[in-house]
Amino acid sequence: MVRVEFLGPIGKEPMEIDVKTLKELKEILNKDENLKEWLKNSAVAVNEKIVSSLDVKLKDGDRVAILPPVCGG
């Protein structure tokens, strides 16, 4: 199982999902119409590191974060 967190203004509770790749995760998350909008401009981190490709294997216990546009300070 992979834990998916939705940060900041997305305002969605974390999910535990049984997926093996980011591609699979993409399919599932895009089914949620509200989330779909956020995915257009959100970055994705796996275990606190931003990823640049969907060819990332996920293993049991990995943490995925969906990161909408930021503005600190």
Partner 1 sequence: MVEVFKGGIPVIDTLQRWYEEFKLEGYGAMIPFIGIVRPDNKIDGLSFDLYLPMLNEWFKKWENLPDAKIMMAHSFGDVMVGETSFLCAVFTKHRREGFKYLEEFVEDFKANAPIWKYDLINGKRIFAKDRAKELKNAGILKEE
Assign residue 20 a region (left: φ > 0; alpha: ψ between -120 and 50; beta: otherwise).
alpha
Count of residues near partner 1 by CB under 8 A: 33
Assign 33 to helix, strand or coil. Answer: helix
54 binds partner 1 (CB under 8 A): yes
Residue of 8, 14, 20, 32 interacting with partner 1 (CB under 8 A):
8
15 binds partner 1 (CB under 8 A): no
Give the footprint of partner 1 on this chain (CB under 8 A).
5, 7-9, 22, 25-26, 29-30, 36, 39-45, 48-54, 65-73
